[in-house]
Amino acid sequence: MKLKRTRTGAARTARLPRFSVAGIAGAGAVAAALTLVPTTAQAAEPAAAPASVTTASLVAAKGYANNLDGWIRESLDIMAAKGIPGSYDGLYRNIMRESSGNPLAQNNWDINAQNGTPSIGLLQVIQPTFDAYHVEGTAYSLTDPVANITAAANYAADRYGSIDNVFGAY
């Protein structure tokens, strides 16, 4: 756009459409309000799940990714429902130290392995510990990523207060 010169030689500002801040904010508020208005079907849904709904069905409804991030997020939801403390960072830190994120990792050399109970899975749990700290609503399989995480977090909560308090082999 060219700027025209007035008789005094000063540059004239280009004419651009003007928007008021209030107008833009108002438009944004309307868009946000439209986004937040529930449909008739949504409005009829209860705020809390009925007691007959299981933790597993609530978790399954979220559709977690079948990878480390999804397993941690699913575990955190189950842990929250069962009152087991822990954070994403605490779980991730311990998983990376114990198994590098491999749900099939198995330690065949330590004292547990020498005694016939190798540490297995993301958080390197032995079968007796898994059996004692298994969390209802997860698979009863030591190699299941979510079951392994939640059982280990349950054990760590009992022994150390939280998986967040574990900074080495446990």
- What's the CATH number where 97 sits? 1.10.530
Judge whether 11 lies within some domain.
no
Listed in sequence order, the residues at least 6 apart from 124 whose beta carbon sits closer than 8 Å to its beta carbon are 98, 99, 105, 107, 152
Nearest CA among 66, 99, 65, 62 for reference residue 78:
62
Q: What is the pTM of this model?
A: 0.66
The count of structural domains within the chain is 1
* Ranges of H-type helices in 40-87: 40-44, 55-62, 68-82
Judge whether 113 lies within some domain.
yes
Structure tokens at 159: 């022994």
DSSP code of residue 125: B
Judge whether 121 lies within some domain.
yes
Judge whether 144 lies within some domain.
yes
Please state the rounded mean pLDDT for residues 123-144.
98
Judge whether 24 lies within some domain.
no
User: 145-160 and 68-82 helices cross at what angle (nearest 10)?
Assistant: 50
For residue 24, pLDDT over 60 is answered with no
Domain extent for 124: 62-165
For residue 2, pLDDT over 70 is answered with no
Please state the rounded mean pLDDT for residues 13-30.
40
Contact in structure between 93 and 78 (CB atoms under 8 Å): no
Structure tokens at 106: 């198995």
Residue range 61-117, pLDDT digits in tens: 689 999 999 999 999 999 999 999 999 999 999 999 999 999 999 999 999 999 999
Structure tokens at 142: 């030591």
Judge whether 70 lies within some domain.
yes
Judge whether 28 lies within some domain.
no
pLDDT for the residue 157: 98
Structure tokens at 91: 């779980």
Judge whether 95 lies within some domain.
yes
Cα–Cα separations (whole angstroms), residue 67 to 71, 83, 144: 6, 24, 12
